[in-house]
Chain A
Amino acid sequence: MQVQNEMKLQMESRSVNEAYARVAVSAFAASLDPTVEELNDIKTAVSEAVTNCIVHAYKNAVGKIYITVKIFENGEVQITVRDRGCGIADIKKAREPLFTTLGGDRAGLGFSVMESFCDRIFVRSAVGKGTTVTLRKRIRGKGAGVDA
């Protein structure tokens, strides 16, 4: 499928950057004329993925987070959030609702939120090397109900 537009973003894994990451990605996706709900879905999924990099991948350190966003001809957005952090030993377990290694006030619903707010999600990880989370969502946009 043809890529229509693409952008790359790199930032440090500081929690203050969570807002920047989700706003930057949603602003880029705005060219597809998404609904408010679709924009919120994207913002939320990106926020979860980036938070995972900060609280898990680079738990006791500050590392780099790499985000790539591609917009395809069919109105699909692909967001890739990559880190070079600790990696996930058991991806299946990590994606289970309510599973968390952190305790405290983390609900263990990060992947559940990403799954329900996107169409598809892929996770690739290697312990000690890092994790790549790919989110895909078709933007139907404001005109969807009118001329679809």
Chain B
Amino acid sequence: MTTFLALAISGLVFGCVYALTASGLVVTYVTSGIFNFAHGAIGMVAAFTFWQLHIAWGWPAPVAFLVVLLVLAPLLGAVVERILVRPLYGAPIGVTLVATLGLLVTLLGLAFLVWPPDTTRVLPRFFAGHTVTVFSLVIDWNQLLVIAAAVTVAVSLRLFFSRSRLGIAMRAVVDDPELAALAGTKPERVSQLSWAMGSSLAALAGILLAPLVTLNVTDLTLLVINGYAAAMIGRLRNLPATVGGALLIGFLNQQAVGYAPPWFNDYVSPAIPMILLFLAVLFIKGERLRAGSLQGLRMPRPPSLQRSLLSGAAFVLVAGVVGSQLSPANLAIGGQGMVLGVVMLSLVLLSGYGGQVSLCQLTFAGLGAYAMAKAGGGLGGLALAALLPAAAGALVAVTVVRLRGLFLALATLAFAQAMDKIFFLHALGSGSSLEVPRPSLPGIDLQDDRVFFAFLAAVFALAAVGVLALRRRAFGRRLIALNDSPAASATMGVSATSTRLVVMALSAAIAGVGGALLGGLHGSISNNDFLLLNSCVLLLLATLGGLFSPTGAFLAAMSYALFPKFQELFPDLGQVQFLFTGLGVLALGRNRYGIGGQLADAGEKLRALRVSRVREVARAAG
């Protein structure tokens, strides 16, 4: 009984923290209509800022606490709303998702830069040493503080939304921004306020969570992300249900520690919030097919088969020549770019053509590498490396088939994070690694690094030609049709379910092959290779490169592979992949065609110019 109560108390404490973060998320989402993926990162940055003020600079805790909570965090939220979010109102989910993910990654990068992970930082518990005893149960003041904070926030939010002018105005904006504007409310101001409030609540959650765990940039961010599940249980609009969901998550998580068998705690417990997130998303009412959802994106025309074959052959040739000149270190970087390029191609198919967001492409890559390792290499291993992720992809697709946009993104996020905890951590071993053999071809020595590099270039070229061929064929047209207008596709007899299933499985298979070759390139993989946050970076880079073209995928993959090189040049910049990608997205994120799209566009213009000039010349001559 004492164990139960003690765990119930610590569950309540975690539940309260989740309730705070989830409430913040709900407040911003209902008011501005934009789901803030960076919410977790804001909580993390706030906790580090608090550490900076309180521990590093010695400010008294209450002062530092209030400064972060009431000044810095709201300011950050308001500035983010003004600069990043406001231009995005009414934009399709793909755009807002990339923007807030970009913010998430930028904040991670900044945190790594300001607080390098090589020093250990500890936030002591508030009121350390003070406890109260209730029925032989020892509760420390820190726990009481968390509970008190959550109750205060819940009551204030309730009063704010039901009693205050501003709160009522906020609800009016949610119901009908135009009508509210007519009645004299400024929707932008109200939305800005909601972002300030959301940011402040994320900060509160981050600061209260930090003393309970270790102060670590990624761990803290992901912990705050656990609160997303609670927000989903509240269907992103119902605050009481959100709080209830948060308490449930905290309760289940802590009771499992005491009562579940060891294997459960090893494998499943850490993933409970993500499993709940996945389930909660599944119960979201499916978006109905609606007419009038025209996308209006201009995709570059795919090149002809002949042209793409020629480009592919030229690519392999150039890669072979360049590869023969590279130093071993640079050869590894180039090879990394090639295999990541293959993974990026899976996103071109899924997100570029199919318009489906996925935050779990590296999870599929990891499954591919795992299958390759277990199969012991060979071409059969490579086939298995495609099949296992394809099966997983199909399974995910079947479960989430009704979901699109934001909810699909959240479901894939939950899947990726749960797989990290349940599968990769154990199958690949934390700290240790799994050996992955290279495939073998008769008569070709793929153990030789230069030969393997050329092989990787050939695989990338083949995959690119294949993806382009799909785009030109009936399946590609069906995919694009489904993305451009789901309603019109349905009236042509196209089954969205089977099409989405096939494309998800295909895309997972491509990512799996990429993953298997990544393992072959380095000889082994570890559980750190396929993390959710890296999948986010991958998606963002692919978007920057241009989701509609293999050229964009290649550029994006190469820049990802080159990050370690940049890191050598700027060792002080922290984790450059986060900072560079994030800043790139914030700068260019509104351009939906990416760099690859720009290149294709420029090419088309050039060709048009040439044609018109030829015509002019012909006219002059004739």
Q: Do A and B come from one complex?
A: no
